[in-house]
Amino acid sequence: MCAQLLSERYAECRRAYPRFEVPFEEFRDAIAAAALKYLVEARQSDVEPSLRDLDRFIGELKLPDLYLGLGCLRSDEHAWWEFDRQHRSFIERWTRHLVSGDTNADEIVDSVYVELFGTRMVAGVRQSKFRSYTGRGSLRGWLRAIILNAAVDLHRAPKLEVSVDNWSDSSDESTRQDPSSPETEGSMLTTIVRQRYRSATAAALDQALSALDDHETLLLLYYHVEGLKLREIARIVEQPRSPMRQWFERRSSRQSRVHESTVMRWLNKLYQKIFKRFQSELATTHGLRPEEIEICTSIAADDPACSISLSRPKRQGEQLSQRKD
Amino acid sequence: MVRLVELRLNTRLRDAVLPESTVHPDEDLMNAFVEGQLTDVESRHLVSHLVRCATCLHLTAQMISHEPEVDQLDNPDVSAQQQSPLQRFLDSLARGLVPPSNEDAVFAYEEKEPSEANENDDDPGV
């Protein structure tokens, strides 16, 4: 099964790296492990991949990178020299780019190399980080992820810098009153009613967000929580195989490039979908009348940082967010 | 309302409780995702994890946002090599001519409209 293809790819790798050798069995087993990881485990399926799936999968693997990684995993000195020649300079520059201070950078480079070498032994097997590299992505990209992880470990910062206290629980300063003052019952009632609408608004919005598909939520998270720019999101969905792109785009009109305006349009559609669901939840789950829904909509829109109102359809080209990319 | 959506997304992500048995995706999987190597089916489980795990979401976002710098680091000498000796000479000359304070310098700059703005008129289908 796929034996011919494997032999050909193996021979190519041997030619690419004549100074060291990885036995064919190890090469084959590594590919089998990669196929198990991506074609079975990642799909959470017990169905065996078809021969065609396997052929496609093997064809997409970065096999010379995998071969080099396997050479390093075997502690082959020539493989390590080759790895250093190709990647050491990148590792050092990328680390220095990420962290300030030579000491910190050196510390991270050292820790990355320790992980790659694998100083720990478990049941007689050296736990090298290379064991987890499958060749599904590039070796350079994999190294980049490892260094980022190491940098985060060194300077572990709070992930969510924005104060995100529960919005529905936060009291409104403008309506806070001194209970001992001779306030009218009417204004206290207004406060209570307003609080009720605020709670309903928050709950309906949560329900609307929960109704989104994961890929839609991911797009919103990248944009709003992680602060990625439109062009950065556009770049990741530019990959023809990018799942985010496959989810969002109409398959009949696949193009090689994705413009920022396309991503903005996807976001706009999502906002409209959220708003529609938000209104529907207020009406059905919370039993609010149209005029009460209007109040909740105005509460939701009552944010000076927000330049848009979702209560009317957007004209083409109109920006929905105040963010400038 | 967008601001409110942003706040709720933050809150939901912060409050998301992952089971203790959660296995976080490794760098190999996240890198394959960021490089656009995974199929729809292969990435479904990962995406489901990313929308609930702030740490992994952050790591992939960092990988995406640092992409151009990585490309630049991949080819550190390209820009220098592309410059001819004359260009380098003119650049050094210009550096000597530009006043130290920006207030004394006037630059004319015309930004061109992107021509491909209408290239991707796909319906996202959301």
Q: What is the pLDDT of residues A273-322, one digit of tens each?
A: 999 999 999 999 999 999 889 888 888 876 533 333 333 333 334 344 44
- Token pair, residue A209, equals 């967000």
- What is the arithmetic mean of pLDDT over A118-130? 85
Average pLDDT score over residue span A79-89: 93
Mean pLDDT calculated for residue range A213-232: 90
- Locate all alpha helices (DSSP H) within B2-84, ordered by sequence: 2-15, 27-34, 40-50, 54-65, 67-74, 78-82
SS3 percent helix, strand, coil of chain A, rounded to 5, is 65, 0, 35
Biggest CA–CA distance in chain B, Å, is: 63
Find the range with the poorest average confidence among A137-151, A170-184, B28-42: A170-184
Residue-level pLDDT at A138: 94
The answer to whether residue B123 scores a pLDDT higher than 50 is no
pLDDT at residue number B95: 53
Mean pLDDT, residues A102-120 taken together: 85
Q: State whether B34 and A160 contact (CB < 8 Å).
A: no
Note whether A110 contacts B: Cβ–Cβ < 8 A. no
Q: Report the C-alpha gap between B11 and A163 in whole angstroms.
A: 9
Place of tokens 């485990």: A41
Contact B39/A214, CB-based, under 8 Å? Answer: no
Cβ atoms of A118 and A128 closer than 8 Å: yes
Domain ranges of chain B: 2-71
Using only C-alpha atoms, chain B has a radius of gyration, in whole angstroms, of 23
pLDDT at residue B126 in the model:
40
Q: How far apart are CA A203 and CA A37, in angstroms?
A: 39
Residue range A94-119: mean pLDDT, rounded: 85
For A261-275, give one letter per residue: b (16+ CB within 10 A) or e. bbbbbbbbbbbeebb
Question: Which residue from B minimizes the CA distance to A270?
Answer: B126
The CA distance from B92 to the nearest CA of chain A, in Å, is: 26
Distance CA A93, CA A109 (A): 10
State the complex-level ipTM.
0.72
Closest CB to A224: pick one of B9, B51, B120: B9
Q: How many residues does chain A have?
A: 325
pTM equals 0.69
Which residue of chain A has the CA closest to B65?
A: A232
Spatial contact of A136 and A30, defined as CB atoms under 8 Å apart: no
Residue A64: which of A42, A87, A43, A41 has the closest Cα? A87
Which residues on chain B are in Cβ contact (under 8 Å) with A145?
27, 30-31, 34, 59, 63
* Interval A169-216: pLDDT, tens: 444 444 444 555 555 666 766 777 778 888 899 899 999 999 999 989
Query: Which DSSP state fits A50?
Result: P
A49 or A244, which is more confident? A49
The pLDDT value given to residue A28: 96
Could you report the per-residue pLDDT of A248-266, keeping only the tens digit for each? 654 334 455 667 777 888 8
List the one residue out of A153, A325, A140, A270 whose CA is nearest residue B5.
A270
Interface size, chain A vs chain B, as Cβ–Cβ contacts under 8 Å? 240
On the question of pLDDT at A78 being above 90, the answer is yes
